[in-house]
Structure 1
Amino acid sequence: MADLLITGGTVITMDPARRVIADGAVAVAGGKILAVGPRADVEAAHPAGERIDASGKAVLPGLIDGHAHAGHGLVKTMGSGDSEAWSEACRVIYTLASPPSFWRAEAALAGLECLKFGVTTSVMLLGGGDSIGRVDDPAHGDAHVEGIGAIGIRRIMVLGPTRPPFPRPYRGLDGTVREVSFEQQAETIGTLVERHHGKGRVTCATLMPVYREATHDPAKVREIEAQGRVIRDIGKRFGTLFHQDGHRGGSIELADRMFGLLGPGAWLSHCTDLTETDIDTLVRTGTSVVHNPSAIAAVRGHCPAIAMMERGVTVMIGSDGTAPDRSTDMFRHMFQAMRYHQRAARDETLLPPGKALEMVTIDAARGLGMADRIGSLETGKEADIITVDLSAPHMLPANMPVHRVVYFASGGDVRDVVVGGEVLMRDRLVPHVDEAAIAEAAGRETARMLAEAGLSDMVDEDPGWGRTRRRG
């Protein structure tokens, strides 16, 4: 007998045959998929006590966001689009004005956003990337795990040191500012990985800053080599993946040739304006890429995702969210990816909707080393399942379901979410979560953070009325 039966919907399996079953069903038992097939067959073979009526809906594997940032959920409205000022504000906030309560409240808010958008697995760097991670004390990572744990989705928490030079100033738990060395950051990273990796729905990954220098200071190279060994040793000890944020032309080849950081257990974000040697390196090492088509980096440079995929590189999509101009709505980022590459090549045939959907499901699972567990609706896999309403006016007429899901749906069309067989959202309601309390905590922590950081003026809105260019 099944624990849960999702029945009557159009099941878009993302299995190796890419089956689309018009009147299908998915049976779940013990947190895993028991059967996928035509409704009549699955219902007859697997009666269940709990059911979700998916009539008029698409049934899909849960979506995967391959790259995003913890902390951003409470700072995303700041700066009126001035990315440099916003990045500097993040540096100040994440090192000097974000106690554990900030990270707990932000994780709950951002996790709830992901859940309601149908994102069942999300990669989150603990901080703003490779130079402002919150790794001075384990309490902040602990608070992040507590916040996301209350929501129930899967989380890959990425932990890495700040960029040299060291030490770096952080405001500690007692309110005083102290200088934190690389060794102290590495100890925090190791503690958090040991404490949380593989526990419940949380896994961890390690990170090193991207080295991009055109000329090489031997002393600096030796320092980075030594630090890289420490961080990779932590990952090897606990069996984590490895991530880097912000690669661009030439830096991928350097990461492999100078530091030996790449391989099948690594994935790299942004990857803009790559050289042929960079792409050759990705192919040779089996390293995966997360493409962030809605990010500012994709405006400043071009990510050759099509060329990489045609060479056999696994490329997933990430939101790089949240941020002043983007959420973690993966439907939005799929569409952005399609138009991004079509416009760059002046070729509307590029990146068809089926491939875009693969990049947030089975390809993303493959890139994160999880394709044997999630990313498709197949017997034996973890039951991470969402439904998407196909009946709203913008989703009609009722044909071509894959086309409609990718081109016309948004995160708000997600109706039901199941993670590991547990129904976390049913018809947009999340019964185990007090959404008002999450919003209240987020508002309280945002106000406190703005005051403590002295950045309240950054929420003075300037929409740019009557101008064709933003100031500054």
Structure 2
Amino acid sequence: MQTIDTLINARWVIPVEPDGLTLNHHSIAVHGGKIVEVLPTNDAAKKYHATETVDLKTHAVIPGLVNAHTHAAMSLFRGLADDLPLMDWLNNHIWPAEAKWVSPDFVRDGTELAIAEMLKSGTTCFSDMYFFPDVTARVCHDAGMRACIGLIMIDFPSAWAQNADEYLHKGLKLHDELRNSELISTAFAPHAPYTVSDAPFEKIRMYADELDIPIHMHVHETAQEVEASVKQHGMRPLARLAKLGLLGPRLIAVHMTQLLPEEIKLLAQDNVSVVHCPESNLKLASGFCPVHALTKAGVNVALGTDGAASNNNLDMLEEIRIAALLAKGASGDATAVPAHTALRMATLNGAKALGIEARTGSLTAGKAADITAIDLSAISSQPVYDPVSQIVYTATRDQVSDVWVNGKHLLAKHQLTGMDEAALREKAIEWHGKIKAS
């Protein structure tokens, strides 16, 4: 028998790749942080001797969820300024609060809170865009969390950098420090076309080409953004990005609620990835991403929660369900975004957008053991005709029992193994007191 680190025996294994496949009574063999094999449980018992065996007799096991767009540290602003349109929310509430409170300590404590929430809801990788990305990267490393860290760029001075050159210099230095990390990758993260001018965009394009890393950006989030761009630049934001040479397979365009048919064709032609954040867009009344039209055109569409300040949670299972339902309602087509497609958007499509699909996003031999187990024995998930449909349309984050990242068991029987929930709660309460009193 072959000795391995972990053997996970499950009622269902949903590898995501190949598409639409559900494996009954299968096991995942894990060693050295990697998936060695996915095979029938009866065969696994004969072939492998594991240091740890986990029996999940009522569970569906899926690839760890990939949150392709968030601002993790903003968990500490959760509920600070609710029920407002985007620009009022940003200009009059969030940006003033950030100017006063964002610091390395704020980012550390907010990111720890976010990681705990994400792990407990089945997310094993997130793509972040925020200040002090070096702190976020360090917290992820210490927690054992996979992340794509955004190298933030914005025209305005902040506690992190004073001008475009300093943002870029610090970002390049951090990329260099992280380039050999197993868990952490990087992406340039210019905030949005309306907050970044042409010269920094041109430098980002040059360095992204040189370093072969993605460009993660809010694009076409609201009608107001598009109208302002036409007024200022004489063209829509996507046209401006095209003119600057930024459209291509490296671009991760987040939100995309305002799209013309010809722009959808352009995105497909240039292999741009789109990140759909349905809950945040609904809450801020930003509009509806045309997910069905994008997927029909062949655009890679992933899912993100956005930050907890505008969502107000980081629950990717909830995001999957709303994405599937909203696509049907917005398109008038009940076949738009079926359950298997929605799950793929939250796993392999997210990994592809971040440029790490060779590393994670599906339960495939040789990939990292980023794995989430969902208990489908709950009354609300019975009976189970199709486990993928039950995950998408009935499962809640309370049904996530176990999570592995890179083979490490970070959530075991609903309990975080490496983070102190009580301490995280106390820190959040302390920040609430300070921020509320200001």
CA contact (8 A) 1:210 1:255 kept: no
Match of 2:312 in 1: 326
- Quote the Cα distance in structure 1 between the aligned partners of 2:80 and 2:94: 10
Q: Against the structure 1 CA distance between its residues 52 and 340, is the aligned structure 2 distance closer, same or farther, given a 3 Å change threshold?
A: same
Task: Specify every segment of 5 or more residues in structure 2 that has no aligned partner in the other structure, as ranges.
Answer: 227-235
Deviates more, 1:228-237 or 1:258-267: 228-237
Q: Which residue of 2 aligns with 1:290?
A: 275
Amino acid in the other structure paired with 2:280: A
Q: Which runs of 4+ in 1 moved over 6 A?
A: none
Note if contact 1:331-1:411 (Cα within 8 Å) is conserved in structure 2.
yes
Q: Cα offset for 1:450?
A: 4.2
Sequence identity of aligned pairs in percent? 29
Q: Residues of 2 paired with 1:360 and 1:107: CA distance?
A: 21
- In the alignment, what sits opposite 2:230? none
1:181 is displaced (CA, Å) by: 2.3
Aligned partners of 1:253 and 1:281 also within 8 Å: no
Give the equivalent residue in structure 1 for 2:122.
118
Superposition RMSD in Å: 2.2
| 8 Å CA contact retained: 2:219, 2:237 | no
Whether the 8 Å contact between 1:269 and 1:290 is mirrored in structure 2 is: yes
Query: Match for 1:56: what amino acid?
Result: T
> Match for residue 254 of structure 2?
269
Alignment of 1:4-19 (within 5 A): 4-16=6-18, 18-19=20-21
- 1:446 matched to 2:419? The reply is no
- CA contact 2:280–2:310 (8 Å) conserved in 1: no
Structure 2 match to 1:131 = none
Taking structure 2 as the reference length, the TM-score comes to 0.90
Of the three residues 293, 300, 312, the one matched with 1:314 is: 300
For residues 398 and 219 of structure 2, what CA distance do their matches in structure 1 show?
Answer: 30
Whether the 8 Å contact between 1:193 and 1:238 is mirrored in structure 2 is no
Listed as ranges, the matches of 1:25-424 within 5 Å are 25-83=27-85, 84-87=87-90, 88-126=92-130, 134=131, 140-163=132-155, 168=157, 170=158, 180-211=162-193, 224-247=197-220, 250-256=236-242, 258-296=243-281, 299-424=285-410
2:12–2:59 contact (8 Å) kept in structure 1: yes
Secondary structure of the structure 1 residue equivalent to 2:425: helix
The whole-number CA distance in structure 1 between the counterparts of 2:307 and 2:422 is 22
Conserved? CA contact 1:156–1:202, under 8 Å: yes
On the 8 A contact 1:78/1:86 being kept in 2, the answer is: no
Distance (whole Å) between structure 2 residues aligned to residue 287 and residue 384 of structure 1 = 25
Contact map agreement 2:67 2:305 (CA 8 A) in 1: yes
Change (3 A) 1:110 1:313: same
Measured after TM superposition, the shift of residue 171 of structure 1 is: 5.1
Alpha carbons 2:7, 2:28 under 8 Å: kept: yes
**Is the Cα–Cα contact under 8 Å of residues 133 and 152 in structure 2 kept in the other structure?**
no
Cα distance in 1, alignment partners of residues 434 and 180 from structure 2: 33
- Tell me, yes or no, if the aligned pair for 1:98 and 1:449 is still in contact at 8 Å: no
Q: Which is further off, 202-211 or 409-418?
A: 202-211
- Contact 1:160 1:231 (8 Å CA) reproduced: no
Give the aligned partner of residue 219 of structure 1: none
For 2:205, give the aligned amino acid: R
Tell me how far apart the structure 2 counterparts of residues 378 and 361 of structure 1 sit (CA, whole Å): 13
Q: CA deviation at 1:85?
A: 4.8
Q: SS state of the match for residue 296, structure 1? A: helix
Are the aligned partners of 2:255 and 2:281 in contact in 1 as well (CA < 8 Å)? no
How many matched pairs?
A: 420
Is residue 198–residue 204 contact of structure 1 (8 Å, CA) maintained in 2? no
Q: Take 2:286 and 2:89, find their aligned partners in 1: how far apart are those partners?
A: 16
Compared CA separation, residues 226 and 394, structure 1 to 2 (3 A): same
Asked if structure 2 preserves the Cα contact closer than 8 Å seen for 1:65 and 1:123, the reply is: yes
Higher mean alpha-carbon deviation, 52-61 vs 274-283, is at 274-283
Distance 1:108 1:212, change over 3 A: closer
User: 8 Å contact 1:78–1:324 — kept in the other structure?
Assistant: no
Contact 2:10 2:60 in 1 (8 A): no
